[in-house]
Amino acid sequence: MEHLPEVAVCRLGHRPGRDDRMTTHVGLTARALGADRVVLPENATDAARTARDITDRFGGPFAVERTESPRGVVRNWDGRVVHLTMYGLAVQDVEDEVRTTLVDDREPLLIVVGAEKVPFEIYEAADWNVGVTNQPHSEVAGLAVFLDRLFDGAELDRAWEGADRRVVPKSTGKEVVSVEDEPADSTPT
Ligand code: SAM
């Protein structure tokens, strides 16, 4: 969102086959709920392709990157780090501190989500280890709730740039319109 510095999401690991849908959904959720960028493991080729394809069709800006070393991305991040973990401090207790720190210091935020067992160095590298409840669930659910808390709901009304199509909200049924066919002043803000 405009009043916050860059927000990036890093997926720590990816097991081809088993994690395909989850890693794809980390990318799509990061994009849909207001992050500027996702960094996926090098082997998550299909997930990266899907996130780029959706951005091309439904808009951005949103960047998709891959790295040989997600742990290196965390280690070398020049900014603040939130690690989402069921063992962390309650999101409702730390969200204000995270937001205020980012706004005051103008530092980018990296949000880290795991796949399989997360090494202890990630807990140590994080400025905040954050739990969305202290119950085990999913990186996609944790990411969605955390982003919505971070942006205080503003991401739900964001404008999308460069889309070639737009969904028209309907009480029933599906309607998708080509953005090129619309008058210039009809795009929702
Ligand atoms: N068993 C692994 C471990 O202990 O490191 C975690 C596996 S979990 C399926 C995968 C990821 O989901 C976690 O690394 C974390 O990022 C996220 N996650 C699961 N439950 C969470 C919670 N309650 N709050 C925040 N993130 C959560």
For 85-134, write each residue's pLDDT tens digit. Answer: 999 999 999 999 999 999 999 999 999 999 989 999 999 999 999 999 99
CB 87 within 8 A of CB 129: yes
Q: Atom 1 of ligand 1 has which residue's CA nearest to it?
A: 117
Atom of ligand 1 nearest to the CA of 136: 20
pLDDT for res 164? 93
Q: Atom 23 of ligand 1 has which residue's CA nearest to it?
A: 86
Q: Which residue has the tokens 């973990």?
A: 85
75-81-82 Cα angle (round to 5): 130
Element (H, E) at 27: helix 20-32
Q: Atom 12 of ligand 1 has which residue's CA nearest to it?
A: 139
For 24-83, write each residue's pLDDT tens digit. Answer: 999 999 999 999 999 999 999 999 999 999 999 999 999 999 999 999 999 999 999 999
Task: Give the Cα separation of 127 and 150 in Å (integer).
Answer: 15
pLDDT for res 171? 96
Interval between CA 37 and ligand 1 midpoint (Å): 20
* pTM (2 d.p.): 0.94
pLDDT for res 3? 81
77-102-28 Cα angle (round to 5): 65
pLDDT for res 183? 65
pLDDT for res 182? 73
- Using a 6 Å CB cutoff, which residues line ligand 1? 84-86, 113-115, 117-118, 131-133, 135-139, 142
* Domain residue ranges of the chain, discontinuous segments joined by +: 7-156
For 8-28, write each residue's pLDDT tens digit. Answer: 999 999 999 999 999 999 999
Backbone φ and ψ for 112, nearest 5 degrees, come out as -105, 130
Atom of ligand 1 nearest to the CA of 113: 16
Query: Of the CATH numbers 3.30.450.20, 3.40.1280.10, 3.40.30.10, 3.30.300.30, which one belongs to the domain with range 7-156?
Result: 3.40.1280.10
131-20-117 Cα angle (round to 5): 40
Mean pLDDT, residues 184-189 = 54
Q: Atom 4 of ligand 1 has which residue's CA nearest to it?
A: 117
For 164-176, write each residue's pLDDT tens digit. Answer: 999 999 999 999 9
pLDDT for res 109? 98
With a cut of 70, say whether residue 4 has pLDDT above it.
yes
Task: Give the Cα separation of 3 and 181 in Å (integer).
Answer: 32
CB 93 within 8 A of CB 128: no
Interval between CA 142 and ligand 1 midpoint (Å): 8
Q: Which residue has the tokens 């739990």?
A: 131
Burial of 89: CB neighbours in 10 Å, binned 0-12, 13-18, 19+: middle
pLDDT for res 180? 80
pLDDT for res 181? 66
Which pLDDT band holds residue 185 (cuts at 50, 70, 90)? low
Interval between CA 187 and ligand 1 midpoint (Å): 38
Interval between CA 39 and ligand 1 midpoint (Å): 17
